[in-house]
Amino acid sequence: MNDLYLIFKNLTRKKLRFFLTCFAIFIAFLLFGAVMALKGALDSGIEMSADNRLVTVHKTNFTQPLPYAYVNKVKNIEGVKDVTHANWFGGYQGDPTRNQIITFAVDPESYLDVYSELSTEPQHKQNWLKNRAGALVGERLAQANNWKVGDQIPISSNIFSHKDGGQTWEFIIEGIFSAEDKQTDTNYMIFHYKYFMETQSWGGDYVGWLVLTTTDAGFNEAVAKRIDEGFTNSQAETDTSTEKAFNKAFIEQMGNIGLIIFSVIFMAFFTILVLVGNTMVLAIRERTGEIAVLKTLGFPSLRIFKMVIMESLFLSFAGGLLGIAAAYLAVAGLSEMLARFLPNLILGAEIIIQALIYMTLLGLVTGIIPAINALRLNIITGFSRG
């Protein structure tokens, strides 16, 4: 008799129980896939950070500006390769609470040198460098707003006002930049720092923060120390850290996302573990007499042990694969809807591999005790219980 046939018949003998157990596992892995994709999107800024990239901000708070003179001073520090700077613009279109546009005023050439993972067509880059009123727009931002090269777009600021009146700047999209890695954030736009300084109605010659690359990642700590010591007791002391550390600290302002996600997943899987484990124990206990019959017919105990383990694994994978497939479809749909807020929402191969590992562990953990009980079952005891 085929073992797979026996496993299938044992699983489906009580169809409602089989369906409800699979559904519980389905929900657990649907939740797992969706939440892990969310975590991946939030962590993408950390994971995509270059190892040799540092960020220098005001020591009091990163919202406080730094004098522009710091740019040249940092360039001359030993171990520094390239330096750029950026200012937060506070951009939006229409409703400032619903349609925010992440916008930075940057030094064009040095910004693209420091963020070498960004690319655009050479002609578009040259056009942008020549046009001070031009903007370079990220691929995801352009897709979300149906923008294309040559469009003239009005961007308002919730912080600054234009010297000609109002709070709106007119930009021409000279190019669209992208990145090879899909999880690299391209949901923002950049424009000329000099144009920003020339057109704003107030504020001095300052920068929001500095971003620099070191000649080698091994020099990061020494370079950061030299920068901060160089501005000790100045009007604007600095705090320099790796880009990964800076992005992580920024995300953690919203709370410990990792702990929250771990707690949600742990509670879901613990509940499913208890549920499936209890189901398997009851199922094997109900079949005590049948197991005794199989042993009487010559089925080796090890074969019965393997059948029980396979039954548990099949149950785990039946619900788990459907759950992770549903999560993939859900994330794919939501990624389009939430492109403006979570541009890197992707359920990648790494999450799917983790899910397969957890399905295997779930099947083994919930099946091991019933399988051992079946392995040790004495034929006479089995018939007396059955």
Q: In which residue ranges of the chain is pLDDT below 70?
A: 1, 3, 43-49, 203, 249-259, 286-295, 297-298, 336-344, 375-386
pLDDT value of residue 372 = 78
Identify the pLDDT of residue 150: 93
- State how far the Cα of 200 lies from the Cα of 217, in Å rounded to an integer: 37
Entry pTM: 0.66
β 189-192/103-106 pair status: parallel
For the chain, the domains span 3-45+256-385, 65-235
Strand ranges inside the chain, DSSP E: 53-58, 66-67, 80-88, 91-92, 100-101, 103-106, 118-119, 134-138, 152-157, 168-179, 189-192, 206-207, 209-214, 238-242
Give the model's pLDDT for residue 311: 84
Q: Check residue 103 and give its pLDDT.
A: 94
Contact 96, 157 (CB under 8 A): no
pLDDT the model gives residue 337: 66
First to last CA, the chain: 22
Q: How far apart are CA 211 and CA 114, in angstroms?
A: 7
Buried b (16+ CB within 10 A) or exposed e, 338-352: ebbebbbbbbeeebb
Residue 381: per-residue pLDDT = 61
C-alpha distances (whole Å) from 205 to each of 197, 211, 275 are 7, 17, 64
